[in-house]
Structure 1
Amino acid sequence: MTAAARPRTDLPGPSGDKYLGNLHAFSTDPLGFLTACSRNYGDVVRLGANNVLLTSPGDVEKMLVDRNAKFSKASADTRRGSRRQGFPRSTMNSDGAEWHAKRHRMQPAFGRSLATKAAEIVDAQGERMLAPWRPGQARDLQDDVSVLTLRLVTSLMFGDEFSDADTAEVARLVAPIMDLSTSPVLLPEWVPTLRKLRIRRSMRRVDRTLHALAASPAAADPQRAPVLHALVHGDPAPSRDELRDELATLIMAGFETTNDSVVWASVLLAQHPEAAERVRAEAEAAFAGTPAGLARMEALSYTNAVVREALRLYSPVWLTSRDATEDMEFGGYLIPAGTTVTVSQWVNHRDPRYWEDAEEFRPERWLGNGPKAVPRGSYFPFGLGPRVCIGAAVATTETVHIVADIWRRYRLELIRPERITPRPALALQPMGVEVVPRAW
């Protein structure tokens, strides 16, 4: 390699504070900070001494697809830190051959039959959620949808709904974990912070619930509980702790991301009455003329476009990071081994270089074959490459049906729209969403 062809090492990026670097800017406003980095410094941005942001769609695709094997989910230091406070033995937090074996064990359970089952049972859960709603009475949409999605996830994947007490316990676990993930400073695990103590107390109770779930009769029936059966009877057979971690991450990932997607789509519909009316009309026709199942999903094409556009503007997964295991080049710059490389759905999904009216809610862009000129790495709400979300089809099916069911019955009015903000924790949570259901 000639000197002229060598990758550059002088990566551009904000210098930040003398002592804290960019830590304060990122922790204060992560979404704004990452967006400004992309707009001001280009496609490869130095965020810190050992952290780089990639914003080129081609580089996103290289990282997550072409060079996936050259990145690890987490370094040893990261594993010793925050991941030990979560679920380190799950597929989501595994790497290499270990990840491949675990993914292979679960993949068959997430086929078309699971999406079909989701489409068939989601209506009953929607009815249950909407039963106590009354026109003119305010609702906390996040709370209502979270209970629905948690019941749906447990029933769909594990054959049995949690009891009301267990549902409340798992829902309570999400809040402290989300809080922990937003802390800009990672303290040693032995430091007994209030957040960690709350998580540990809640985890002990959740452990009992999950182990009882694994021992239930449903685990023996692949038709009744396909995911649970695949885990309990899979090869390799999971240890007790591994099984706990797998169940916990499946529940939390399926519950939190679907919940956030439904709420964000509803917020956008509440702000765009013409789109809401179109969803209502389409849903009325689909529910009246099509039996529950994937055929109804096909009849909800505009609602599906609304959900895809909501995932563009407010993807629950807003940030994806990997650790480089060897030296690599991106955009003419050297990325040394050990560097944490980050891509952001929030940044790329709103990049005006690739999206027309990037900040506008335009479901129509997804009708037909979708936007033709948008590069693959500009839209990846469920990830890309081998580690793409295993439950993407199921989550989309659930979200579309729940949104259609809500909006065919009620027009939602936002009580304090100015207070609704995105909270970038482990997922991009919609905060302050209070609504008043109105009759059409």
Structure 2
Amino acid sequence: MAEKELGDIPGPAGDRVLGNLQEFSTDPLRFLTACAREYGDIVRISPRNVLLAGPEHVERMLVDRNADFVKQGPETRRAGRRQSLPLSTMSSDGEDWKAKRRRIQPAFGRELSATAAAAMRGQGERMLEQWRPGQVRDLQQDVSVVTLRLVTALMFGEEYTDSEIAEVAGMVVPIMELSASPVVLPEWLPTRRKLQIRRNLRGVERTLARVAASGRAADPKAAPVLHALLHGTPAPTPAEVNDELATLLMAGYETTNDAVVWASVLLARNPEAAERVYHESEKALAKNATGMALLGELPYTDAVLRESLRLYSPVWMTSRDARVDVTFSDYVIPAGTTVTVSQWVNHRDPRYWKQAGEFRPERWLGKEPTEVPRGSYFPFGLGPRTCFGASLAGVEAVSLLASVWSRFRLRLETPESVRPRPALALQPLNARFKVEAW
């Protein structure tokens, strides 16, 4: 069969001037889903952008042909979408990425996850001491403090102060707002959001410099991630240390935060599942099990998290630039094309998931997940670039869910107003809960 060119790939024509920009910007979740359902497993969404929806295509891109794609090729740089922390492992490519990942990945082992499981219970109790039945809580705000405290303590060997946590949170908020904007502005344009980000980054840089210079960095047990970064090979530059630590903070903060809040939204909407989590968590915590042993007592709570990650994966789409010409389904995608895969689209594909739009945690206690293609579920990515903090994030989220739902029932204050905001992460907007006793 003759190979076809990029222009032969089916897709929506869009506006004569703006193409599909307005429709994508208005509701990217709906737009990407409609593209995949109407046009199939490979869709041209602009002259230089392709969506891959077929699970086999996702696996081919992220696993089999991973080396043929880069995080940031020339087309992305010319579009003015430079990474805000370009020297981190997450933003690197090629041999540079391999060296950085080898340096830091060993710190994210089972021992760190076990420590996190033990520490999260204490952090959760610290948060819940402030809660009272009848209160209305902004769970996003409450959980963000818990996750930041835990992430900094685990990775850097010391817990941030309240003012330092406020600095980091202040950096995350405008970055998320900026990433949700449909308009890509020139780097040099001093917008209010960009100025706010720069001010907060300077404060965070001062904090990170103090952390890097602390005596704990010499102790691999007290600060495993910080030690691996500073004492690994090759030795990082100060700028690399800053970008790496800031990225780890933001990733650890945002992913766990959003996962816990989305899971709680789903539990609040499904009272029977919430009661099952309550009984399982209460029984597990009563045994005084700690660390990974506690997680072994929480199979249904773990299933709730996995199902939440299916429906509301914090990472909702992933894009790469083709480094060379790559062929998918007899279509030649030329070098320089931006290729996107979407967790939101694939996790909800009715061809592979039974009752795809419904919240069914019990599917994770049976055979269904083993029967779907690999590229149908990838909340933390696939292949060599799978998030090395995936296990840690899962441990933290399950532990915190157990702490919260064993103590209180949460009801959404305004269920109809909760909606996802697809920025750098898929954030739950308006997720305010009324606290009730069981």
Identify the match of residue 305 of structure 1 among 303, 306, 313. Answer: 303
**Residue 241 of structure 1: aligned partner:** 239
RMSD: 1.2
2:398 is matched by which residue type in structure 1?
Answer: V
Change in Cα spacing, 1:370 to 1:217, as seen in structure 2 (3 Å) is farther
In 2, Cα distance between equivalents of 1:364 and 1:43: 28
Residue 143 (structure 1) aligns with: 141
> CA–CA distance in 1 between the matches of 2:93 and 2:5?
29
Q: Which residue does the alignment assign to 2:347?
A: 349
CA distance in 2, matches of 1:56, 1:128: 44
- Provide closer, same or farther for how the CA distance between residues 83 and 5 of structure 1 changes in structure 2, counting only shifts above 3 A: closer
What TM-score, normalized by structure 1, do the two folds share? Answer: 0.97
**Residues 423 and 431 of structure 1 are in contact (CA less than 8 Å); yes or no, is this contact kept in structure 2?**
yes
**Is structure 2 residue 11 aligned with structure 1 residue 7?**
no
Partner Cα distance (1:374, 1:127) in 2: 38
CA contact (8 A) 1:106 1:231 kept: yes
Once the two structures are superposed, residues 149-192 of structure 1 have per-residue CA deviations (whole angstroms, 9 ceiling, x without a partner) of: 11111011111010000001101110111111122222221111
State the SS of the aligned residue for 1:437: strand
- Work out the CA distance in 2 between the residues paired with 1:218 and 1:150: 18
Q: 1:409 to 1:132 in 2, by over 3 A?
A: same
Q: What is the CA-CA distance between 1:75 and the residue it aligns to? A: 1.1
Code of the aligned partner of 1:388? T
Q: Tell me how far apart the structure 1 counterparts of residues 372 and 30 of structure 2 sit (CA, whole Å).
A: 23
Match in the other structure for 2:359 = 361
Relative to the length of structure 2, the TM-score reads 0.98
Is the CA contact (8 Å cut-off) linking 1:119 and 1:401 kept in structure 2? Answer: yes
Structure-to-structure mapping, 1:113-128, within 5 angstroms = 113-128=111-126
SS in 2 for 1:266: helix
Structure 1 unaligned residues grouped into runs of 5+? none
Letter in 1 for 2:205: D
Q: Partner letter of residue 60 of structure 1?
A: V
Residues 370 and 225 of structure 1: CA distance in aligned 2, closer, same or farther (over 3 Å): farther
After TM superposition, give the deviation of residue 290 of structure 1 in Å. 4.3
Give the 5 Å matches for 1:30-69. Answer: 30-69=28-67
Q: Classify 1:81/1:46 alpha carbon distance in 2 versus 1 (closer, same or farther; 3 Å).
A: closer
Shift, 1:85, TM fit = 5.8
Separation (CA, whole Å) in 2 of partners of 1:216 and 1:170: 19
Question: How many aligned positions are there?
Answer: 437
Report how far residue 370 of structure 1 moved.
5.0
Q: CA deviation at 1:76?
A: 3.2
2:228 to 227, 230, 237: 230
Q: Is the 8 A contact 1:7 1:329 kept in 2?
A: no
Secondary structure class of the residue paired with 1:20:
coil
**Aligned-pair identity (%):** 65
**Which one is further off, 180-189 or 254-263?**
180-189
Match of 2:386 in 1: 388
Cα shift at 1:368: 4.3
Within 2, Cα distance between the matches of 1:79 and 1:51?
15
2-side partners of 1:17 and 1:139: how far apart? 43
What per-residue deviation string (whole Å, max 9, x for no partner) do you get for residues 316-337 of structure 1? 0000000111111112212111
1:5 shift after superposition: 2.9
Match of 1:263 among 261, 264, 270: 261
Unaligned runs of 5+ in 2: none
Contact conserved, 1:85 with 1:189, CA < 8 A, in 2?
Answer: no
Tell me which amino acid in the other structure corresponds to 1:5: A
Q: Tell me what 2:17 maps to.
A: 19
Return the alpha-carbon distance in structure 2 between the equivalents of residues 291 and 159 of structure 1.
24
Residue 106 of structure 2: SS of its match in structure 1?
helix
Query: 1:195 Cα deviation (Å)?
Result: 1.2
Deviations 1:123-162 (A, max 9, x none): 1100111111000111111100111111111011111010
Q: CA deviation at 1:84?
A: 4.3
* Per-residue Cα deviation, 1:321-363 (whole angstroms, up to 9, x for no partner): 0011111111221211110000000000000011000000000
The residue that corresponds to 1:108 in the other structure is 106
* Distance in 2 (alpha carbons) for counterparts of 1:15 and 1:174: 35
Task: Pick one of 398, 407, 410 that aligns with 1:409.
Answer: 407
* Alpha-carbon separation, structure 1, partners of 2:170 and 2:301: 30
The counterpart of 2:326, out of the listed 319, 328, 352, is 328
Letter of the structure 1 residue corresponding to residue 165 of structure 2: T
Which of 208, 211, 226 is residue 210 of structure 1 equivalent to? 208
Helix, strand or coil at the partner of 2:321: strand
SS of the equivalent of 2:236 reads coil
**In the superposition, relative to structure 1, how do residues 79 and 117 fare at CA in structure 2: closer, same or farther (>3 Å)?**
farther
1:167 matched residue in structure 2: 165
* Distance in 2 of aligned mates of 1:261 and 1:224: 27
CA offset digits 1:360-419 (Å, max 9, x no partner):
000000014552321000000000000000100000000000011100000001100111
Q: Distance in 2 between matches of 1:37 and 1:161?
A: 45
Q: For the residues of structure 1 that align with 2:436 and 2:368, how far apart are their CA atoms? A: 32
2:150 & 2:11 partners in 1: Cα distance? Answer: 44
Counterpart residue type for residue 226 of structure 1? P
Which segment is superposed worse, 96-105 or 236-245? 236-245
| Post-superposition offset of 1:49 | 0.6
Q: Is the 8 A contact 2:74 2:336 kept in 1?
A: no
- Aligned residue identity for 2:134: G
Q: How far did residue 83 of structure 1 move?
A: 5.5
What SS does the corresponding residue of 1:78 show, helix, strand or coil? Answer: helix
